Amino acid sequence: GYLAPIADKADEWLTKHSASSSEAPFFLYYAIPAPHAPWATGKEFKGKSNAGQYGDFVMEVDAMIGQLLATLDKLKLSENTLVLFSSDNGPVWYRQDIEKFDHRAAGPWNGMKGALTEAGHRMPFIARWPGKVPAGSSCDELISFADMLATVASLVGEKLPDDAGEDSFDISPLLFGKVPGEPIRNSMVHVNYGSYTVAIREGDWKLILPQWVYRVSDGTLNPDHIVETKGKGPTEKFQLYHLSTDPGEKTNLFAQEQGKAKELFDALKADIARGRSRP
């Protein structure tokens, strides 16, 4: 496998940094290309997960992250180091994989990587900062990985320029267990990989638009790039789901909740017109 050498290099860098300038701030971007294909699992993890080669690879990722955390502990850097672990999209796990391994990589959510359904966009997000981030806590607030730009800027005492991170919100209060009365992020726009159709999430509600309403020509949500294609494409229905009561997105409430659907559609159009979601 190729993960162990990457982890060893990260350990080596941390050790050298600690020895030469233990008090100096540092940033380590530990971007392992796993569990994305190719699945080159290390020998000691092969056959360990009972969920095929993909499951074995996930176990190896977990072990490599554990190695990195152990190094921070050994070097006595943990108390002053924020560790953030995340991914870039939902899993690729086909129906035949579920049947073969009796395992759902996306849990109760519908779809997989690239889809506008929840499994396409939900990602793991885990934070560790002993004494700052409450251990064992969880949070159900809506966030995006785009929020890391504003969040890290806030943590180091900087303010983002108005034209930087236009869709990034400071979620540091959530990391520290302080849930505000109002959501930090009211909504989030999803774009489908491939067809570049659009959805908007707000609280427990999500509206998925048919392809013929808006198509994003190059994958970026910007007023100059939105192409109206009404009547020129597929005639799928609008889809509206209430995620806390229907996490699998099985019951389309669009017909029953026209008011909520219009509210979400108007919010999406407003974001498109502004070219940003952060005030």
Do 158 and 59 lie in one domain? The reply is yes
Structural domain contains residue 279: no
145 and 10 part of one domain: yes
> How confident is the model over 99-131, as pLDDT tens digits?
888 888 888 888 888 888 898 888 889 999 999
CATH number of residue 214's parent domain = 3.30.1120.10
Residue 233: pLDDT band (50, 70, 90) is very low
pLDDT of residue 107: 86
* Confidence grade of residue 147 (pLDDT, cut at 50, 70, 90): very high
How far, CA to CA in Å, does 55 sit from each of 10, 38, 114? 24, 13, 20
| 228 pLDDT tier (thresholds 50, 70, 90) | low
Q: Note whether residue 88 is domain-resident.
A: yes
Model confidence band, residue 98 (pLDDT cutoffs 50, 70, 90): confident
Residue type (1 letter), 182: E
Quote the pTM value: 0.86
- Reported as a single tens digit per residue, the pLDDT across 162-191 is 999 999 999 999 999 998 889 999 999 988
Q: How many domains does the chain have?
A: 2
In this predicted structure, what is the pLDDT of residue 16? 95
48 and 167 share a domain? yes
The chain-wide mean pLDDT, for the chain, equals 87
CA distances 110 to 54, 96, 99, 138, 191, Å, are 19, 15, 15, 22, 16
Q: Which domain holds residue 194?
A: 188-274
Across 17-31, 181-195, 251-265, least confident range:
181-195
Residue 105 lies in a domain: yes
Residue 231 Cα distances to 2, 14, 193, 223, 254, angstroms = 49, 57, 21, 20, 20
On whether both 91 and 203 belong to a single domain, the answer is no
Residue 155 identity (one-letter amino acid): L
